Amino acid sequence: MHSPLIEWIRATSLRTRLTLWNTAVVILLTTVTLLIVRFSARSALYADCDAELRAASREIALAVQELSGDAAPLVAELRRKAASHEERGWFLHLLTPDGATVWKSDHCPADVLNYPPKDVKQVEVVRQVGHYRYVRNRIDRDSGPSYLVRVGTYTTGLDNSLAGLIRLLTGMGLGLSLITPFAAYWLAGRATQPMGAMLRTAERLSPSRLGDRLPVRGTSDELDLLARTINGLLDSVAQHVDKQEQFVADAAHELRGPLAALQSSMEVALARDDLPLDQQETLSDMLDAARHLSKVANDMLLLAESGNPAEPHDHLVIDLTLVARQAVAMFSGVAEERGITLTISADQPAETLANPVDLRRLLSNLLDNAIRFTPSGGAVDVRTVAAGETVTLEVADTGMGIAPRDLEHVFDRFFKADPARTHGSGIRSGGLGLSICRSIADSCGGTIGIASRVGEGTTVTVRFPAASPSVLRSLHSERPALASQTAQPAAR
């Protein structure tokens, strides 16, 4: 089981994770570098110190070897050597192999004086006693006793120099550690910036907008390879969808002719006066089935056409309120015949960019569904609202409603909810009306949603982008108003 920290890191964005990892790596490398520099600097400082002490001790040992066995000349020579190194803080100590002091300089520390000689048979030894470091040389003379000479110095100065270097490097490391998260975040942003463009393009992709492709920068890196791979997949998907839509359109087109001929033949047969009653009933059922198949074929053709959105030059500035009033006027007779109250609540213009034919088709499908599934005595209300950058169309009915389990499927092709929604009217649905509405809304850059409660009614809400003032001025100057297509003048 992962720790909460690991789970939190996994839940963050890629940019944040890159920042955290880069910061951690830089801090780790900085720490390791500081440790290496500290030990390397200490080794170098002490190695230089030891080299100087060795050179001095060997020089003194050679001078002592050349003197006679009398101690007075030895002490005089040692005083002279000590005076020459006094400004460097060095000390000298001459002793016998058994540890008896023969002579010491004024600055020779007690810790060194009291430290007994070890490994006296070795010619040269380096020792660290507390904060003091010395080199001990053995002096063997042909005429006279052997001596040990210690030449040392205080290591406090070396330690202070090393501590100053460590403080400087630590300060630089802390400064680098403070700057690293910001630099890492900026670099991670630069590295993931192409992914942001790819993500925005992917969010725009939809079955009605398969022409968009992920941007390729031409750098031949992993992101470009990923973009090319996904673009190849999108090309294959787009070709497959185009072939499927073309097949549906061709099939629907081929079915319309035979179905129309079959429907006409049965209508002619039903018009005969000498047709037996049982045959009339059979032909009537067959005619209803043929009409239903004709409607399904027409809906399939419309759905295939709506899957290919209109080009921008086919979009006009449409007053949604005016189109809604025309649709309500067209369906008012059907609603009155079925005993349904059809009203419209639209007091202000609601302009959007859309194909006028598609927009009328959308309203017709919504009103047809609302009236079809509302019982006698019910009501259907159409409302348009323009608010800010959005134009909203609502079609609400007081019908039987849709079960919650069916709501997420109502926009699927050929989906049919509970058969009880037909209310025994005998009118069958092809299951494509709302699919066509969704395709039209997508092609206009809008959205469609549905809310329903069983026994209370259903409300379908369609939202379109409002036509911007710049678009209105442009269209007003370039195109005349097309009253027949419900396009309104662009000037406000």
| 170-212 per-position pLDDT tens digit | 888 888 888 988 888 888 888 877 777 788 777 777 666 677 7
Within a domain: residue 9?
no
Q: Each residue of 397-433: b (16+ CB within 10 Å) or e?
A: bbbbbbeeebbeebbebeeebeeebbbeeeebbbbbb
What is the C-alpha to C-alpha distance for residues 231 and 218, in angstroms, rounded to an integer?
Answer: 14
Q: Model confidence at 57, in pLDDT bands (50, 70, 90)?
A: confident
Q: Model confidence at 342, in pLDDT bands (50, 70, 90)?
A: very high
Report DSSP state, residue 59. H
How many domains does the structure of the chain reveal? 3
pLDDT of residue 397: 93
Number of other residues whose CB lies within 10 A of the CB of residue 183: 14
pLDDT of residue 487: 40
* H helical segments located in 85-155: 110-113
Same domain, residue pair 303 and 318: no
The one-letter amino acid at 335: A
Contact between 476 and 490 (Cβ < 8 Å)? yes
pLDDT of residue 379: 93
Q: Model confidence at 381, in pLDDT bands (50, 70, 90)?
A: very high
Is a pLDDT exceeding 60 seen at residue 307?
A: no
What is the C-alpha to C-alpha distance for residues 434 and 448, in angstroms, rounded to an integer?
Answer: 9
What is the C-alpha to C-alpha distance for residues 266 and 260, in angstroms, rounded to an integer?
Answer: 10
| 229-285 per-position pLDDT tens digit | 888 888 888 888 777 777 777 776 677 677 778 878 888 888 888 878 888 888 888
Contact between 52 and 155 (Cβ < 8 Å)? no
Within a domain: residue 197?
no
Domain of 424 in residue numbering reads as: 311-485
- pTM for the full model? 0.46
CATH code at position 302:
1.10.287
Is a pLDDT exceeding 80 seen at residue 458?
A: yes
Report DSSP state, residue 339. T
| 400-454 per-position pLDDT tens digit | 888 888 888 787 776 666 554 444 444 455 567 788 888 888 888 889 999 988 8
Same domain, residue pair 325 and 467: yes
3-state SS, residue 168: helix
Same domain, residue pair 316 and 381: yes
**In the listed set 261, 285, 308, which residue is the last one of a domain according to the structure?**
308
Same domain, residue pair 356 and 479: yes
Q: Taking the CA of residue 380 as centre, how many other CA atoms within 13 Å lie in the half-sphere pointing to its CB?
A: 29
Contact between 335 and 371 (Cβ < 8 Å)? yes
CATH code at position 121:
3.30.450.20
Average pLDDT, the chain: 79
**In the listed set 308, 323, 357, which residue is the last one of a domain according to the structure?**
308
Same domain, residue pair 152 and 23: yes
Contact between 166 and 34 (Cβ < 8 Å)? yes
What is the C-alpha to C-alpha distance for residues 111 and 98, in angstroms, rounded to an integer?
Answer: 17
Same domain, residue pair 256 and 344: no
- Contacts made by residues 196-205, CB under 8 angstroms, sequence distance 24+: 198/223, 198/226, 198/227, 198/230, 202/230, 205/234
Same domain, residue pair 333 and 474: yes
> Which contiguous run of DSSP H or E holds residue 382?
strand 379-387
**In the listed set 161, 196, 231, which residue is the last one of a domain according to the structure?**
161
pLDDT of residue 194: 78
pLDDT of residue 395: 93
Contact between 487 and 353 (Cβ < 8 Å)? no
Structure tokens at 292: 């239903």
